[in-house]
Amino acid sequence: MNPVLKDERKLRIRFSETDPMGIVWHGNYIRYFEDGRESFGARYAIGYLDFYENGLLAPIVKVSSNYKKPVRYGEEVIVETSYVFTESAKLVFDYRILSATTGEVATTGQSTQVFTDSSGKLFIVRPPFYENWLRTHGFIG
């Protein structure tokens, strides 16, 4: 069984993130996923700056979201970001956006990132930095 790596970040919904009905505009959920990934990366030393320092880029190649309940201006939400282990040379994260007051799930999602070098060449096998990270966190021996 793989370890569970998860991070939570609390956000307050700003007026500029809502549509004319006062509900978060659907495109902003992708931004909240990004906030979750950045918080996760800082906590577990696998953020964009860590990639850059190791000569890597990690572009998003897939993202999905499922909207369960509207989130409104002024509400506080928790962005929960969980790492999903795969054997491939990619990063997969699951997301849940929950009401900070009720705990109800408002949105779920997932993103996939691949690794490239600074010129854009795709890594087909896991780069050494990622291999070391996986080893450090108990995903591989």
> Which residue do the tokens 């989130």 mark?
71
Average pLDDT of the segment spanning 62-72: 97
Q: What is the pLDDT of residue 109?
A: 98
CA dihedral 89, 86, 26, 13 (to 10 degrees): -100
Q: What is the pLDDT of residue 2?
A: 79
Give yes or no for residue 1 having a pLDDT over 80: no
Q: What span, in angstroms and rounded, lies between the C-alpha atoms of 109 and 8?
A: 15
Q: Are 99 and 123 in contact (CB under 8 A)?
A: no
- Domain total of the chain: 1
Average pLDDT, the chain: 96
Q: Is residue 141 part of a domain?
A: no
pLDDT digits (tens, 9 = 90+) for 92-122: 999 999 999 999 999 999 999 999 999 999 9
Q: Is residue 1 part of a domain?
A: no
Contacts of 112 (CB under 8 A, 6+ apart): 60, 61, 62, 63, 90, 91, 92
Domain span at residue 114 reads 6-136
Q: Residue 126 maps to which CATH number? A: 3.10.129.10
pLDDT band at 63 (very low <50, low <70, confident <90, very high): very high
Q: What is the pLDDT of residue 23?
A: 96
Model-level pTM? Answer: 0.95
Which residue type sits at 81? Answer: T
